[in-house]
Amino acid sequence: MKRQWLSRWSFLILLLLFSLLLAGCWDYHELENLFIVTGVGLDQVADSDKEEDPDKEANTEKMDVTLQIGKTQSPSTGSSDTGTQKSSAILLKTAKDTTMESIMQLDQDSSRTMLLHHNQVMLLGRDLAKSGIENRIDAFLRNQQMRMEVLVMVADRRAEDILAAELEEEEISSMYLYGMMQDLYNVSPHYKIRMLDFVSRLRDGTSSAVAPIVELVEQEDKERLKLKGMAIFKKDKMVGSLSSQEMQGYIWTMGNVKQGALAAQTDLGRAVFRIVKLEAKRDIGLNPNGSIRGTISVYATLALTELRGFSGMTPLELMPYLVTLSENEIKRQIRDAFKVAQELDADIYRFGLDFHRRHPKVWKTIEEQWDQLFREMDLDLQVKVKLPATGQIAKSLEMEEPKP
């Protein structure tokens, strides 16, 4: 009995071993046969391409897909020719109907397989963003290789230019973008728009998605990437944008700000503050006349970092003055941003969602007309600033000495 069992087991183990050795490995990909994709750019098909190929004209679904691939260099060869080092990113580009089709096409055309897991950023070209993106991003949600952490950004002109940028700070521009967003995340989490946040807003129905805009700037032969503002989407189409200043106003409205600067100018002089902490509390309700009333209370703790002017004021007078000054400045910026949003009918603050959560019963009756309600909504803005410290010096050089 025992013997039979043993032989039967050994037979099974043998079979398993054979299957191990013969059948091969399915998911096995050597690293050197992979292209590590670090960024994906989606663009409207460029005009020049259209002329070359008349077929494309008929099909407006086509888009340019640009993949940025981090180039790997073997350490032994890399060290020898540092002088003549070229860009360390490879750009591959093709035009197909969908993202995955393009990626598969590029897969076929190149020597290696695409590894999409490490994609850092999805860049949308401005034109594509304006024409609607809902049918473009399914691949980024469905595919197992795509992560929900991928950053969503809009390129000021074409996404491929951003991906092709040769920067001094970082060899691969998408890694630079990732670093930039991570840095801004520490300022406020609302700067960093991940795929999850983006999709979450698209699914709200009433909310408008936002995404940071990057711009390629050339300064004295050097290319730099700058954050230009925020794109505002209505449904899935980009309808406008916030400027840098207005973006700050938007971020403050969302609260949870841990860093940042605030400059205020008056006739007397210019004061620069550092934001130590900024919280915003939001409340939303229905006015008796049927319009929507939103209340935003901002509580900010600032620190004074630079002063210019204000001569003739004693520190004792100055501090309350600075407090009101900064409060007004915050109010102004928030209102500026809000005005832009209202003009575009775009609820970037997710007031609609807030209303839905607070008053689910009423929401059902007003959901249809939310756009109009939002346009006519009045914002009740209260800002409270605390300015506990003046920094290392109490008086500035320009200030007048109090007379004895």
Partner 1 sequence: MIANARFFPFSGIVPNDLVMLIKNNSWKELSILLLGFLFRKLSFLGNQYALYRKTTGPYDDRTKGPGMEKELTKNLAYLKDNLSDSCDLKVHPLEFGPKNQWSGAMVFIEGMIDNGKITDGILRPLKDWRPESKMPAAGDGLINELAKKVICAGSVKPVASLGDIILECLSGNTAVLVDGCATGLIIGTKGWEKRSVSEPQSETVIRGPREGFTENICNNTALIRRKIRSGRLHVENLIVGRRSQTDVRLMYLEDVASHEVVAEVKKRLGRLDVDAILESGYIEEYIEDAPFSPFSTVGYSEKPDVIAAQILEGRVAILVDGTPFVLTAPMLFIESFQTTEDYYTRPLYASLVRMLRFVGYLISIFAPALYIALTSFHQEFIPTTLLFSIANAREGTPFPVLLESMGMVFAFEILREAGIRLPRPVGQAISIVGALIMGDAAVSAGLVGAPVVITVAITAVASFLVPAQNDAASVLRVVMMVLASFTGWYGISMGALAVLMHLGSLNSFGVPYFNGLAWTRDQEDTIVRMPLWFMIRRPQGIPENNTVRGRFFIPVFRPHEVLDEDSEDEQEEGPKERGAGA
Partner 2 sequence: MRIDKSRISGLQFMFAMTCFIQASTLLSTFIASVTFQDSWLAALSGSLVCLPLIWLYRSLMVMFPHQNLLEIFDEVYGPVLGKVVSAGYCWFFITLGSINLTDLGDFVKLTIMEETPNVVLLIMCILVAAMALRRGVSLVVRYSDFFVTVAFSVLVISIILLLNQIKLENFLPVFDQPIGKYIQGTHIIAAIPYGELVVFLMIHPNAKMSRRDSGRYLLWAFFLGGFTMLFTVLRDVAVLGNTLDMFTMPPLVTLRLVNLGMALSRMEILFVIVLIILLFFKIMVLYYVSVMTVAHLLKIKKYRHLILSVGAFMITYGLTLYPCPVKHAASAQETTPFIWSPFEILIPLLTFIVAKIKKLPAGKEM
Q: Please state the closest distance from residue 384 (CB atom) to partner 2, in A.
A: 23
Partners of 384 in beta bridges: 299
Partners of 293 in beta bridges: 285, 378
Secondary structure class of 322 (helix, strand, coil):
helix
**Closest CB to partner 2 among 237 and 357?**
357
By the 10 Å C-beta count (0-12 exposed, 13-18 middle, 19+ buried), 368 is classed as exposed
Residue 4 touches partner 1, criterion: CB under 8 A: yes
By the 10 Å C-beta count (0-12 exposed, 13-18 middle, 19+ buried), 82 is classed as exposed
Residue 86 touches partner 1, criterion: CB under 8 A: no
Q: How many residues bind partner 1 (CB under 8 A)?
A: 35
**For partner 1, which stretch binds (CB under 8 A), given 23-31, 208-216, 279-287, 380-388?**
23-31
**Closest CB to partner 2 among 108 and 289?**
108
Q: Please state the closest distance from residue 181 (CB atom) to partner 1, in A.
A: 14
Q: Report whether 44 contacts 128 (CB < 8 A).
A: yes
Residue 85 touches partner 1, criterion: CB under 8 A: no
Q: How far apart are CA 287 and CA 277, in angstroms?
A: 31
**Closest CB to partner 1 among 175 and 247?**
175
Binding residues for partner 1 restricted to 363-402, rule: CB under 8 A: none
**For partner 1, which stretch binds (CB under 8 A), given 74-82, 94-102, 132-140, 367-375?**
74-82
With CB under 8 A as the contact rule, the residue among 65, 103, 106, 115 that binds partner 1 is 115
Q: Report whether 68 contacts 39 (CB < 8 A).
A: yes
Q: How far apart are CA 380 and CA 14, in angstroms?
A: 77
Residue 294 touches partner 1, criterion: CB under 8 A: no
Distances (CA, A) of 332 to 34, 229, 259: 51, 17, 19
**Closest CB to partner 1 among 6 and 389?**
6
Say which residues have a Cβ less than 8 Å from residue 400's Cβ, sequence separation at least 6.
311, 312, 313
User: Which does residue 360 touch among partner 1, partner 2, none (CB within 5 to 8 A, set by kind)?
Assistant: partner 2
**Phi, psi of 206, rounded to the nearest 5 degrees:** -100, -25
- Among candidates 290, 274, 264, which has minimal Cα distance to 187? 274
Q: How far apart are CA 284 and CA 379, in angstroms?
A: 10
User: Which does residue 316 touch among partner 2, partner 1, none (CB within 5 to 8 A, set by kind)?
Assistant: none
User: Which does residue 91 touch among partner 2, partner 1, none (CB within 5 to 8 A, set by kind)?
Assistant: none
Secondary structure class of 164 (helix, strand, coil):
helix
- Among candidates 164, 240, 176, which has minimal Cα distance to 209? 240
With CB under 8 A as the contact rule, the residue among 14, 141, 261, 394 that binds partner 1 is 14
With CB under 8 A as the contact rule, the residue among 55, 89, 120, 319 that binds partner 1 is 120
**Phi, psi of 204, rounded to the nearest 5 degrees:** -60, -35
With CB under 8 A as the contact rule, the residue among 60, 65, 68, 73 that binds partner 1 is 73
- Contact code string over 155-194 relative to partner 1, x by CB under 8 A: --------------------x-------------------
Pairing of strands 210-219, 151-155: parallel
The binding site for partner 2 (CB under 8 A) comprises 5, 12, 16, 19, 23, 26-27, 141, 144, 147-149, 178, 182, 189, 196, 199-200, 203-204, 354, 356-358, 360
Q: Please state the closest distance from residue 357 (CB atom) to partner 2, in A.
A: 3
Q: Report whether 258 contacts 277 (CB < 8 A).
A: yes
Q: Mutual orientation of helices 315-343 and 244-254 as an angle, nearest 10°?
A: 100
Residue 72 touches partner 1, criterion: CB under 8 A: yes
Give residues in contact with partner 1 (CB under 8 A). Answer: 2-4, 6-8, 10-11, 14, 18, 20, 25, 27-32, 34, 36, 38, 70, 72-78, 115, 117-118, 120, 145, 175
